[in-house]
Amino acid sequence: AVLVGLTVPGAFLAGVLVLDYLGMTLNIVVLFSLILSVGMLVDGAIIVVEYADRKMMEGISKKEAFIQASQRMAWPVIVSISTILVVFLPLLFWPGVVGQFMKFLPITLIAVLTASILMALFFVPALGFYLGGISKEHAEKNREVIVATEEGDLSKLKGITGWYYHILEKALNNTKKVLLGSFGFLIGVILLYSVFGVGVEFFPDVEPEQAAINIHARGNLSIKEQDAIVKSVEDRILDMKELTSIYTRVGKPDMSKGGSPGQGGEETEDTIGVITLEFADWQKRRKVDEILADILVRTKDIPGVYVETRADKPGPSHGKPINMNISRVNSQPL
């Protein structure tokens, strides 16, 4: 168990070093990929350690047992982990914004699982020579079990192994029924989900922690006039106890430089100020939709001002769903 357990931090460290070499950050997708890989990266180490234990039970020395385990289990380990790598390899070519967001998953898994092969075939056998080994009593007891399973009557096995043997025997005697049942179960699951499923959601709808208020006004307004308008909006929300912090910025975006790099880059030319809000804990306040609706009610009677609220959304930042570009060839006035 110790030898198998050491494979996890070793493979993680190697994978993180590969990501650092590629110039990638440690983000939530990388952390999710590391969690996903835990159950897969220990397979090779388990195979090697179990084979070495089996040989030591047969009376082979500890050193020779781990040498044989590393040599004879090399191809099984490589092939078993390679089948997993092949599954995630196409995700490297995932196009679009989602592909840029999710590319960390296949890269992390490929790096970590490749490192687990090296851990299983080199590091674990070398460390097993110092930490491995079984007692003589344990070896003699399990040697009898090994002989019984290889040369005796398997139907006499007890416990979970015996229960598994009896189920496997019935399945092998009814292969057509098992295959038809498996195919029917697969089709049934798809049909049931198509009828009772609730659909697919890439990013779940969670309560945001921040939101922004964009204040729009037309006209050649001075910075003092803009500040007065933004302050009138700010004064109407300062008494809301559901806000833990309020940050206000006054001024129009510099459109000559592509607009303001605000949230999602969605500030327009008539934006005279942005108020960034940070909400209290979601258990101690109303829902964000209700808070933003209340803000719109409080500010709707300010003449000549259009107030737009926008809450943070999960996933990669993106612009508004519709962009309209209007141009004309003739520069003469209509």
| pLDDT computed for residue 270 by the predictor | 87
Contact in structure between 203 and 314 (CB atoms under 8 Å): yes
| pLDDT computed for residue 264 by the predictor | 43
CA gap 112, 37 in Å, rounded: 7
Q: What are the backbone angles phi and psi of residue 219, rounded to the nearest 5°? A: 115, 165
CA gap 1, 67 in Å, rounded: 19
| pLDDT computed for residue 64 by the predictor | 87
Q: Which helix (H) or strand (E) holds 321?
A: none
| pLDDT computed for residue 324 by the predictor | 80
Strand order in the sheet with 243-250: 243-250, 271-279, 210-216, 306-311
In 10 A of CB 182, how many CB atoms?
Answer: 10
Strands (E) located in the chain: 210-216, 243-250, 271-279, 306-311
Q: Long-range CB contacts (< 8 A, 24+ apart) of 8-14? A: 8/38, 8/41, 8/42, 10/115, 10/119, 10/123, 11/37, 11/41, 11/112, 11/113, 11/115, 11/116, 11/119, 12/112, 14/111, 14/112, 14/115, 14/118, 14/119
Contact in structure between 215 and 307 (CB atoms under 8 Å): yes
* pLDDT of the chain, 334 residues: tens digit per residue: 888 888 889 899 988 999 899 888 888 889 999 998 888 888 888 998 888 888 887 778 888 888 888 888 899 999 988 998 898 888 888 888 888 888 899 999 999 999 999 988 888 888 887 776 666 666 666 666 666 666 667 776 777 878 888 899 899 999 999 999 999 999 999 999 988 888 777 777 788 889 999 999 988 889 999 999 999 999 999 999 899 999 999 987 765 544 444 444 567 788 999 999 999 998 889 999 999 999 999 999 898 899 999 888 766 666 667 778 888 777 666 5
Strands (E) located in 230-319: 243-250, 271-279, 306-311
What does pTM read for this prediction? Answer: 0.53
| pLDDT computed for residue 259 by the predictor | 47
Q: Degrees (nearest 5) of the Cα angle 10, 15, 18?
A: 130
Q: Which helix (H) or strand (E) holds 145?
A: helix 136-151
Contact in structure between 305 and 216 (CB atoms under 8 Å): yes
Residue 322 tokens read as 């519709």
| pLDDT computed for residue 3 by the predictor | 84
Residue 222 tokens read as 């001075």
Contact in structure between 133 and 70 (CB atoms under 8 Å): no
Instruction: Count CA within 13 A, CB hemisphere, residue 12.
Output: 16
- Residue-wise burial string across 250-277, b where 16 or more C-beta atoms lie within 10 A, e elsewhere: bebbeeeeeebebbeebbeeebbbbbeb
Which amino acid type is present at position 324? M
User: Which residues lie across from 275 on neighbouring strands?
Assistant: 213, 248
| pLDDT computed for residue 102 by the predictor | 86
Burial degree of 167 (CB within 10 A; 0-12, 13-18, 19+): exposed
